[in-house]
Amino acid sequence: MEIRPILSALLRSKTGALLIAAQVALTLAILGNAVYIVQDRLAISARPTGVDEENVFFIRLYGFREGIDVPAMLDADLASIRAMPGVRAVATANMAPLTQSGWNLSVQPNENNPDGESTNTAFYFSSEDLVDAMGLELVEGRYFTPDEVQVIEPSLANIDPRHTVLSMALAKQLFPDAQSYVGKAVFLGDSRMEVVGVVERLQSPWAQLGDAAERSMIVPIRQLDPVAQYVVRTEPGQLDRVMREVEDHLVAARDDRVLLRNTSIQEARANRYRADRSLAWMLVAVMGLLVLVTASGIVGMASLWVNQRRKQIGVRRAIGARRRDILRYFLVENFMVTSFGIAVGLGLALALNQLLVDALEVPRLPLAILPAGVVALWALGLLAALGPAWRAARIPPAEATRSV
C-alpha cells in the first residue's frame, strides 16, 4: 500500500485536510448526540399506557348550576351512553392516561410510618368497571364489586377508600419482595386499603419520564362533584362516530352544563408528546442538512485536490499507474483524513454529551451507538470522494504534456 507517500503528500498541504477532518469530527459529535436524543424521544413517546388506546375516549362536562343532583345526572348519562350502538363499556373516571391533569397522592406500604417511606402514585377512581372501560389487563385478583363503591360528598367528607387495584409497577415498588399482592394493605394517611387486584399496566395522566409514570392505583369511589367525566370504550373502528354521538347527546341532554373536553387517548398521546416528537423531527432535519453540508465539503475539497494535481496524475499515469491506482490513491487519502476526523470526533462526541448531561436533562450517550456513527461517516466520506476520485482516474496520461 502507498500509505506513506499519501501521508507525506497530505502533510505538505495540511490546511484542506485539517478542514475536512474538523468538519468530520464536528459532524460525528453532533450526529452521535442527536441520533441518540431522537431515539430516546421517539421511544419515550411510544410507551404504552395499558389502555386499549385505539378504542377509548374521555369526555368531561361541567355542571355549573348549584344544587345539581349529581348521582341522578351520572346514572342517566351512564345508562344512555351504554345504550348507544358501538359502545362496549363506559365508566365514570376522575382522569385518564395522557390527559395531563388529575390526582396524585402518596401512599405507604405499612402503617405507623411517620418518617414517610411514601410513594407518589396517580390516583384513579371510578364507581363502575374501569378495567373494562379502559381495556386494562387484570393480571392478579379481581376488580371491585358494586357494594365496595364509596359515595363521597366532598363538602362533607374526605375520601376514605377501603379497597384498591394497583398497577404492577406500583405493587412492585411498594412490596419489592412479594410474589403476589392480593390481600396486602396499602395506607393513604389513616385509610387502610386492601389490595384486591393488580393490572399489568396503567400509566399516569402526566406520563412522566421514568418509572413514576407507571405507578398508579384505582379505588372504588364516586365523588359527587358537578363535573361529569366518562371513559368510553367503543367497538373496534367506531371510535370517531361514537365520540361525536356521545358528545352531541350529552351536550343536548341538559342545559345546565358545558363541555370541558372530549379527547380520544390517541389525541391525548399526540398532544402529550407533541414537543418531544417535533424536537426529534427538528433534529432529524438538522442531521440531514449536516450530512449534506459535510458531504458537499468533502466533494468540494476532493475536487480541488484533483484539480491541483492534474499534472501529477498525468505524470503518474504516463509512467505506468493504472486508473484504479489513481482511484485508490484518492480514496485512501480521503479515508485517512476521515479517520483522523473520526478519531477526534469520538472524543468531541463524548465531551459534547458530558456538556449536555451536566447542563440539561439529557440522557448519557451509550457507547454502543458510536460504532454505527463511525461506520456511517466512513461511508459518507468514501461516497463523497468517489466522484472526484473517479474523475481523477479519467485524467489521460497526455495531461502530463499539456503545460510545463
Partner 1 sequence: MFAYYFKLGLRSLRRNPVLTALMVLTLAVGVATSMSTLTVLRAMSGDPIPSKSDRLFVVQVDNQPAETPEGEPPTAHLSWIDARELLEAGDGLRRTAMYAVGGVAEPEGEAGNLLVNGLAVGADFFPMFDVPFRHGGPWSAEADARGGTEVVLSAAFAERLFGDEDPTGRRLRIFEREFVVTGVLAPWQPMPKFYWLIGGNNRFGETEDVFIPLQTAIANESNPNGNVNCSGDGPEPGYTGLLNSECVFMQYWVELADAGERTAYRERLGAYVEGQKALGRLPVGERSRLLDVREWMVEQDVLGDDTILQTLLALGFLLVCVVNTIGLLLAKFTAHAGEIGVRRALGATRTQVFQQYLVQAGVVGAAGGLVGLGLTFGGLWLLARQSEEVAAVAHMNPVMLMATLAVAVVAAILAGLLPTWRACKVVPAIQLKTQ
Which residues make up the interface to partner 1 (CB under 8 A)? 15-16, 19-20, 22-23, 26-27, 29-30, 33-34, 37, 62, 64-66, 100, 114-116, 154-158, 189, 258, 260, 274-275, 278-279, 282-283, 285-286, 289-290, 293-294, 296-297, 300-301, 303-304, 308, 352, 356, 359-362, 403
Instruction: State the sign of the Cα–Cα–Cα–Cα dihedral 371, 374, 378, 384.
Output: positive
Q: What whole-number distance in Å separates Cα of residue 51 and Cα of residue 60?
A: 18
CA–CA distance, 63 with 227 (Å, rounded to integer): 6
Which three cell numbers, joined as nine digits, stand for 66? 348549584
Other beta carbons less than 10 A from residue 387's beta carbon: 14
CB of 27 to partner 1, least distance (A): 6
Closest approach of partner 1 to the CB of residue 357, in Å: 11
Smallest gap, in angstroms, from Cβ of residue 189 to partner 1? 6
Closest approach, Cβ 16 to partner 1, in A, equals 7
Cβ-based nearer residue to partner 1, 180 or 401: 401
Nearest distance in Å: CB 371, partner 1: 21
Please, are residues 166 and 217 in contact by the beta-carbon 8 Å criterion? yes
Q: How far is the CB of 131 from partner 1 (least distance, A)?
A: 27
Q: How many CA atoms lie within 13 A of 147 on its CB side?
A: 0
Amino acid sitting at position 281: W
In the complex with partner 1, the residue whose CB is nearer, 304 or 367, is 304
Q: Looking at beta carbons only, is 180 or 296 nearer to partner 1?
A: 296
Closest distance to partner 1 from the beta carbon of 281 (Å)? 8
Residue pair 345/370 in contact by the 8 Å Cβ criterion: no
Closest contact distance (angstroms) between CB of 137 and partner 1 is 30
State CA 63 to chain mean position distance: 36
In the complex with partner 1, which residue's Cβ is closer, 30 or 131? Answer: 30
Radius of gyration of the chain (CA): 33
In this structure, are residues 232 and 90 in contact, taking their beta carbons and an 8 Å threshold? yes
Nearer to partner 1, 64 or 211 (CB): 64
For 243-271, letters b (16+ CB in 10 Å) and e give bebbeeebeeeeeebeeeebbbbeebbee
Cβ closest to partner 1, residue 279 vs residue 315: 279
Name the residue nearer to partner 1 (CB basis): 19 or 386.
19
Number of other residues whose CB lies within 10 A of the CB of residue 117: 9
Measured from the CB atom, the residue of 116 and 146 that comes closer to partner 1 is 116
Cα dist from 8 to 95, 350, 379, whole Å: 70, 31, 24
